[in-house]
Amino acid sequence: MVSKTKIEKIEPILWDRWLLIKIYCEDGTIGIGEGGVHGWQRPTKTMIEVMSEYLLGKNPHLIEHHYQWLYRSSHFMGSIVQGALSAIDIALWDIKGKRLSVPIYELMGGKTRDKVRCYMHVGGSTKDELVESALQASKDGFTAVRFTPYNPTNFHMHKSYSEWADDAVQRVGAVREALGNDVDICVEIHRQMNPAESISLGKKLEQFNPFFYEDPMLPDSPAIMGDIAKQCNIPIATGERFTTIFEYQQLLEAKAAAYVRPDLCLCGGLSGSKKVSAMAEAYHVKVIPHNPLSPVSTATCIQLDACIPNFGLQEYTGESEPPKSELLKSPLELKNGYLTVPDGVGLGIEINEKSLNIPENPKVLDTPIGFDGSVQDR
């Protein structure tokens, strides 16, 4: 039987563009986590510090109890609260796995797979650059790539829908022609269209058989997203901005997505995302975790991917270059586009303490302005 311990210290760390957390226990166990609120790392760090007052001296194994206490006491919810709760949740699961000497997935039903299929981000300002990037990802072993079908540097400056849509069709078509059918293509719209435009473009892209069509409009209305899903013969993927299971409930009831995209560092950590996955399973919807953060987020995603039956695909942005490559003592194993499910305890990773000296690199708030002076979504 594992002896009891208590939480004695909580340390949020602003590291480059990300927010990490370390939770220390009296017996020497240290849990690692990450909070994922893009552009709002500092206020999320402050929220963790506020929540720390409750957690100090508590039993770290009571993960759901602590989540519910902090969630209910927040009164007014939102991304800052959920980002902090997610970081804490992940770190507490890491502690529990380490203290019980098992990977986290063993505590969540056991392993359902040995490796996790990933899609790689590709891109380019021109069509040729995009194709070259996609071909390189294929050469590197990835069997799925994800990209935006427009110039990422000036997407917000388009004046004509027809011109923009035609450019998108040409780019997607060029990637499909270059890769053939051995590689899945995932099309990310980044919420740049209204519903009518989303439906129109979706119909034009059907011929290229995309794996998914992500965030074709703002995800504020599951009902309207459901209308798009009904009229496009392409699977819709959405949900990266959602912070609670209740938003996913509305999305699933509206039949608005074939793939849900929980961000484990925002949607309640492993606890919240496991609940989302179970809800999605009941609707025959698969899970594609959102993962634009550090290797801690990637390691967390793998633990979820390993223990759910309805895993679809894993977002991967590459971790071979600094500063990401410096964070872990041993990098996560990537072979031919698949991440190996680790056998190590907890998250299965060890932090390179020296790398934590890398200073904060705060995100600059740079919301794009359109050609007519109006604010655009990013």
In CATH, the number for domain 106-346 is: 3.20.20.120
Q: Which residues pair with 187 in a beta bridge?
A: 147, 213
Second-level CATH architecture of 7-102: 2-Layer Sandwich (3.30)
Instruction: Check: CB of residue 185 under 8 Å from CB of residue 179.
Output: yes
How far is C-alpha 123 from the chain's CA centre?
18
pLDDT, one tens digit for every residue, the chain (378 residues) = 788 999 999 999 999 999 999 999 999 999 999 998 877 899 999 999 999 999 999 999 999 999 999 999 977 888 999 999 999 999 999 999 999 999 999 999 999 999 999 999 999 999 999 999 999 999 999 999 999 998 877 766 676 888 889 999 999 999 999 999 999 999 999 888 889 999 999 999 999 999 999 999 988 889 999 999 999 999 999 999 999 999 999 999 999 999 999 999 999 999 999 999 999 999 999 999 999 999 999 999 999 999 999 999 999 999 999 999 999 999 999 999 999 999 999 999 999 999 999 999 988 877 888 878 888 777
d(CA 152, CA 147): 10
Q: What is the domain partition of the chain in residue ranges? A: 7-102, 106-346
CB 265 within 8 A of CB 300: yes
Q: How many Å apart are CA 376 and CA 197, to the nearest integer?
A: 15
DSSP element (H, E) containing 205: helix 195-205
Strand ranges of the sheet holding 18-25, from the earlier edge strand across to the other edge: 7-15, 18-25, 30-35
Q: How far apart are CA 275 and CA 281, in angstroms?
A: 10
The encoded tokens of residue 48 equal 């963790």
Bond preceding residue 323 cis, omega within 30 of 0: yes
**Which residue type does 163 have?**
E
